[in-house]
C-alpha cells in the first residue's frame, strides 16, 4: 500500500507572511487547499486522504476557543491588533497552537484519523516546533496548556506513536543542517528516518572528452553526482531518492518516489 491503512491526514503548516506559499496542492492535484481538512483522491490512485494547510491565525483562534469557557471569544481577542500582536510574539506560542490545532485529531483520540502526517518547517523552525510542548510544560506548571503540553511531550517521545522523517538535499549545507537537527533533538524524540532527495545518478567515467555540448553536459552531471555523493555520505544509513527528470506521461512524482522506495 502507498500509505498506512485506515484514515490518513496530511497537514502542512502555513506561513503568516506568505499565505499562498505551499507546494502541497500541486502535489496532490488540487488548485488550492484550506485550513480545514478536505478529502481528496491522490492523482493516479484510488486512495483517499485528508489534506489541509493550516492558517496560523485560525489555528490560534480555534485553540484559544477550546481553552476558554466562552466560545467565540478568541475571535474578538484576535481581531484586536494589540492583543493579536502580543499573542504572536510570545515565544513558542504559534508553534504550540499549531500543534494544538492538530492535537484533537491525533490517533489516540476517538474519531480521529489513524495516521497524521505533519509536513513541518525546515531545520531551525522544526526544532522550535517540536520543543514547544516541553518548553510550555516547564513554564506553565498547571492548567489546561500544561496538561496539553504534557500529553504532547509523551506522545512525541513515544516511538510506538511518533516517527520522525528528515529529508535533505545532497548538498553540504543541507546535510550539515540535518546533522545539527539530529544533535539538537537528541534522545528526547524517536530516532529519525533520514532521506536524501534529488540525488543525481552515478555516471561511468568516459575517455576522450571533447568540448562539445553533450560532453559539457556529461561533465557537469558527473561532477555534480560525485559531489553530492560525498556530501550525502555524512548521513550514515540515509536512504537516497534519485533525481526524477521530467518525462512525458510520467506518473505523479509521489508515485515515482513510492515505487523507488518499495
pLDDT at 241: 94
Predicted pLDDT of residue 1: 43
Could you give the 3-state DSSP secondary structure of residue 132? helix
What pLDDT shows up at residue 14? 67
DSSP per residue over 5-41, as a string? Answer: SS-EEEEEE-BTTBTT--SHHHHTT-S---SS-EEEE
Q: Give me the pLDDT at residue 9, please.
A: 87
Residue 127 pLDDT: 83
Q: How far apart are CA 166 and CA 180, in angstroms?
A: 11
Q: Which residues of the chain have pLDDT under 50?
A: 1-2
- The whole-model pTM stands at 0.79
Cell of 145: 496548556
Q: What is the pLDDT of residue 197?
A: 94
Whole-angstrom distance, CA of residue 54 vs CA of residue 143: 25
Amino acid at each position: 500500500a502507498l500509505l498506512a491503512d485506515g484514515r490518513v491526514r496530511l497537514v502542512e503548516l502555513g506561513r503568516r507572511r506568505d499565505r499562498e506559499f505551499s507546494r502541497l496542492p500541486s502535489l496532490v492535484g488540487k488548485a488550492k487547499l484550506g485550513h480545514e481538512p478536505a478529502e481528496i483522491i491522490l492523482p493516479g490512485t484510488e486512495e483517499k486522504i485528508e489534506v489541509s494547510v493550516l492558517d496560523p491565525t485560525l489555528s490560534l483562534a480555534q485553540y484559544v476557543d477550546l481553552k476558554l469557557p466562552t466560545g467565540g471569544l478568541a475571535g474578538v481577542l484576535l481581531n484586536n491588533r494589540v492583543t493579536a500582536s502580543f499573542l504572536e510574539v510570545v515565544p513558542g506560542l504559534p508553534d504550540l497552537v499549531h500543534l494544538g490545532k492538530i492535537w484533537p485529531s491525533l490517533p489516540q483520540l476517538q474519531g480521529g484519523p489513524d495516521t497524521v502526517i505533519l509536513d513541518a518547517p525546515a531545520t531551525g523552525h522544526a526544532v522550535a516546533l517540536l520543543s514547544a510542548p516541553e518548553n510550555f510544560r516547564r513554564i506553565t506548571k498547571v492548567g489546561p496548556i500544561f496538561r496539553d503540553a504534557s500529553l504532547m511531550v509523551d506522545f512525541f517521545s513515544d516511538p510506538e506513536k511518533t516517527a520522525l522523517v528528515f529529508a535533505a538535499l545532497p548538498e553540504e549545507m543541507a546535510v550539515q543542517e540535518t546533522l545539527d537537527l539530529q544533535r539538537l533533538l537528541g534522545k528526547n524524540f524517536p530516532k529519525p528516518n533520514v532521506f536524501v532527495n534529488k540525488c543525481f545518478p552515478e555516471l561511468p567515467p568516459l575517455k576522450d572528452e571533447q568540448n562539445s555540448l553533450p560532453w559539457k553536459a556529461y561533465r557537469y552531471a558527473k561532477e555534480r553526482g560525485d559531489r553530492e555523493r560525498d556530501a550525502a555520505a555524512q548521513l550514515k544509513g540515509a536512504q537516497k531518492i534519485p533525481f526524477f527528470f521530467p518525462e512525458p506521461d510520467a506518473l505523479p512524482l509521489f508515485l515515482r518516489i513510492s515505487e523507488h522506495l518499495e
